[in-house]
Each structure stands twice: as C-alpha cells, then as structure tokens.
C-alpha cells in the first residue's frame, strides 16, 4: 500500500511554460513534505520542502502547494527550463519520527525546446 503516490510517471512541458507535478498521500500523520530532483547516474538532490502548518512555500522558480484536506501537494516550476528535465520525487515524514521518509515513485519531467 503506497502511502505517497505520484500518479504521473512522466510529464512533457514546453520550455518557458509552467510545469505542475502532483503528489497524493494517504497517511494523515504526515506533517512534513519534500521534493527531490534526480538526474541520471546521480543521487537525488533536495529541492524544496513544506511543513503542514503552511499551504505554500516558494523558492525562486519553484513553489510547493499543500492541500491538507485533499491530502495533495503539487510542485510548480515557472518558467520551465531545459535543465529542469529530471525525475522528481515527492517524500513525506512525520517530523522527528526517527527521520524516516516515505517516497513516491517519481515523475519524469521532460522540457521540450
């Protein structure tokens, strides 16, 4: 039973447009969410996070939105650039619960020129 779901295995977006990556979760105890980005042959790198006390967090071109009632979060990338082509993972945890993260399966984002 996947507690964190990324239902789109891949997403193709035109350069300059907005990319929206989605993530759903089932465990209401999750109170901290993170997005990681992964290039081929590299490890994941941290991108942005959000605590459940917030509904939005921005960092430059990246914004994460959290809808607790729907158990849904999304990552917006505006504008999308070729270097954004990567696999994006959503992860969740109960804060301070021995640091374990539950990961989604990832969404491969392809930015078309």
Partner 1 sequence: NAGVTQTPKFQVLKTGQSMTLQCAQDMNHEYMSWYRQDPGMGLRLIHYSVGAGITDQGEVPNGYNVSRSTTEDFPLRLLSAAPSQTSVYFCASSYGTAKNIQYFGAGTRLSVL
| Site of interaction with partner 1 (CB under 8 A) | 2, 4, 9, 32, 34, 41-46, 49, 89, 91, 93, 95-96, 98-106
- Choose between 14 and 45: whose C-beta lies nearer to partner 1: 45
Determine the length of the chain: 113
What phi and psi values does residue 58 have, to the nearest 5 degrees? Answer: -120, 145
- Choose between 19 and 104: whose C-beta lies nearer to partner 1: 104
- Choose between 18 and 95: whose C-beta lies nearer to partner 1: 95
* Measured distance CA(29)–CA(104) in Å, rounded: 16
Residue 5 CB, nearest approach to partner 1 (Å): 9
Residue 111 CB, nearest approach to partner 1 (Å): 23
Residue 29 CB, nearest approach to partner 1 (Å): 14
* Measured distance CA(86)–CA(111) in Å, rounded: 9
User: CA separation (Å) from 105 to 9, 53, 59, 78, 90?
Assistant: 8, 25, 23, 23, 8
């Amino acid at each position: 039973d996947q507690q964190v779901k990324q239902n789109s295995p891949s997403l193709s977006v035109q350069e300059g447009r907005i990319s929206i990556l989605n993530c759903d979760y089932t465990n209401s105890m999750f109170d901290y969410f993170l997005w990681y980005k992964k290039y081929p042959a590299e490890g994941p790198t941290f991108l942005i996070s959000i605590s459940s006390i917030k509904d939005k967090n921005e960092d430059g071109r990246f914004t994460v939105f959290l809808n607790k009632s729907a158990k849904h979060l999304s990552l917006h990338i505006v504008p999308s650039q070729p270097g954004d082509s990567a696999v994006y993972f959503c992860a969740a945890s109960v804060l301070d619960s021995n640091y374990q993260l539950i990961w989604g399966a990832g969404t491969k984002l392809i930015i078309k020129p």
